[in-house]
Amino acid sequence: MGHTPYGYRIVNGNAVIDNDAADRLRNLYKNYLAGMGLMSAAAEVGIDAYHGSVKRLLSNKHYLGDAFYPAIIGESTFTRAQEEITRRAEALGRNGRKTKPREVKPFRRFKLGELTEHFDSPVQQAEYIYSQIESEVS
């Protein structure tokens, strides 16, 4: 088994709830669902973690309870937190979905008006000629 999730301790081979950490977790969910950001919700309850770690705390299904870990939060709270994470990600365009790239059609027709010799330098004359090219919109 991997490391023990935040909010639990292992006692005699069984996972038990660490009450102080579990209270912080419950308050983290409450603060996040009240509209606080990941970092501010965690800081408010005394959890010192990066935003990615806080998001993983909010997304950890062990907190719902399973065969080994007792439940710390209810399913409705967990579901609302997941919906809020998704809602905020979509509002910021961070939902991981690729948008279809806009099709760019290059110009295919060009016209060049009457040219005169303006410059003695071939480089300057070439720049002048290039600047006179116009694209035709089709």
pLDDT at 102: 78
Predicted TM-score (pTM) of this structure: 0.67
Give me the mean pLDDT over the 65-89 stretch. Answer: 95
The mean pLDDT of the chain is: 90
Reported as a pLDDT band with limits 50, 70 and 90, residue 117 is: confident
pLDDT at 103: 81
Helix axes 51-59, 75-91, angle to 10 degrees: 140
pLDDT per residue as tens digits for the range 79-90:
999 999 999 998
Q: How is the chain split into domains, by residue range?
A: 8-91, 105-138
Residue 46 has pLDDT above 90, yes or no: yes
Tell me which fold the domain 8-91 belongs to: Hect, E3 ligase catalytic domain fold (3.90.1750)
Helix-strand-coil split of the chain, %, nearest 5: 45, 10, 45
Residue 1 has pLDDT above 60, yes or no: no
Query: DSSP assignment, residue 85?
Result: H
Dist. CA 71–CA 99, nearest whole Å: 38
Paired strand residues for 131: none
Helix axes 38-45, 19-33, angle to 10 degrees: 140
Paired strand residues for 11: 14
pLDDT per residue as tens digits for the range 11-34:
999 999 999 999 999 999 999 999
Reported as a pLDDT band with limits 50, 70 and 90, residue 138 is: low
